[in-house]
Structure 1
Amino acid sequence: MSMSQHMKDIVIIGGGPIGIACALEFEKRQWDYVILEKGALTNSLFNYPKNMTFFSTSEKLEIDSIPFISKNPKPNRDEALEYYRRVATSNAIHINLYETAEHLTSLKDAFEITTDKAQYRAKKVVLATGFYDIPNTLGVPGEQLPKVTHYYKEAHPYSMQDVIVVGASNSSVDAALEIWRKGGRVTMVIRGASIGERVKYWVRPDIINRIKEGSIKAYYHSEVVEIRPKEVIINTPEGQKVLPNDYVVALTGYKPNFDLLEQAGVSLSNDDIKRPVYNEDTMESDVAGLYLAGVICGGMETHKWFIENSRIHAKLIAAHLDKILT
């Protein structure tokens, strides 16, 4: 065994809300565990837009019945970061931040996890890695230009600029409205026939009205085909159009990193969804001792699982491990 290999009962990969929920369950049982998180605490939430408001109410974002008090009916990003930070620190959970799990190997009766800093040997592993790492790309010429982003943080840089927002989801609509309100000239390029049905119910009428009055331009049944330094070419039902452009904000969704699943030998469904195989009662994958928690369970269906409905995964995993580790 190398000097840097650490022995653990359980390694949790991913320090988001669901990874933290798992840690709280393991902490109660005094199991020897650690969370490995490649970025900041709740890294995905940290990377959300600064002014983002959640769809869920604060009590539905609570983990382990620890109260989440918000000033508003729907909490915002900063309140969520504060909540999960306090939960993590006040319960003294074991978490290594800015440590990336690079390799996961299933051995006969254990797992080997290699990070960019150390090596771990664990009896069990929980994968709670979320899905915010890898953007769904457009796959068009010019997508690598520095004016193109797949993440949106705030509107100020886009003030007085020609901005194309690609997509019609919650994130696209929020970005389009914020950029327009901060003085950006916004055009939405939307593949479908309308603004997405899952857009927050209090925001949807706002964007529809802004499009109707012409404040925000929208092309439906359309897609970007090429991005150039000062313009973008799109295909529309009326033919190809060349639009003046300073920035492209392509918010076309994200996908899980399947690498660790595949390295460990977890089976994925044979379709575009690539849903990992697991037992819904225990959250154990078809690799014995490897558990899945949170949005990773849905494969490419990243809208299926979220904090509100996957909080329970931590308790299901702990209940199953109770029979094995105690």
Structure 2
Amino acid sequence: MDRYRRQKAFQPIGELGQRKIAASKVGICGVGALGSAVAERLCRAGVGTLVLIDRDWVEWDNLPRQTLFTEKDAHEATPKSVAIQRHLHAINSHIALEAHVCDVQPDSISKLFAGCHLIVDGTDNFETRFLINDFCCQTNIPWVHAGIVGASGQSMTIIPGRTACFRCLVPEPPPAEQMQTCDSAGVIGPAVGLIANWQALEVLKYLVAGSEAMDGGLRTFDLWHGEIRKLTIRRQLPSDSQPGCRACVQRNFDFLSGHLGTQAKAMCGRNSVQINTTRSSMDLKTLAERLAQECEVSENSYMLKFELDGMSWTVFHDGRAIIRGTENVEEA
């Protein structure tokens, strides 16, 4: 039996659309709540290649809303991209799945998303979104933005050169203290599911019908009060009073160039700081042997964890470290 027969029976997709889906490569930046749900939908729909990128590991408080992960994943602190690759392979073994345990950076983004027809925003921070926006504006790759807090969220499909870009919507990153986070305001699973399904629908629509099928509007969702709105976001074109959008009009890619963004940054709402070192790799075995003389060390194939100076450290193969117990970058 043809596993996609009912999908192909949907007239806007059909046989030709399914072939386009199968020939496509989609990058998903962040496979937590939104990203993992989008990945599952695209996997089941038969997208030919999924690139799964996440810097984090599965924790117990992920399980209520990140539906593909299991208690075993949390117990073993499995990197999210690795865990979801395994689960998606069990769902559809006929598609290609690339897993990357890393943070997307200006010097790595082009390699990570090489050959992608579209990128999905599953991130939890503005800096990465601005980086994705710069990269997509430069390379003319469409991307589907989304974000969620509590029972409310938003999504916007960005087609470079045709629709407003993310910096037309948000010209500069807002101060961290002004932003609500899932830690501070919470988040509920049904809201995650709805917004992720909207993102997945936008992806499939673009893969099948191209940019002409996309309207570029911003959708906002308030599930608790049953409200969905569509807002028209216009490109910030030059005028007598302003020079136009810095990214899609002026083509100044501040985040992609590395002029903006930091090597050490607080992870908003998580009482943690992430440090990106200049090293491309870290010998975790040697580091574990050195640390074992001072503290207890736990490790798996991707990272090692230890407690030191009252803070919890997690060090990854790519030289990155997450220090939990502070949001003070200088202290970390």
TM bucket by the smaller chain? 0.3 to 0.5
Q: Which one has the bigger helix percentage?
A: 2
Q: Could you say which structure has the larger radius of gyration?
A: 1
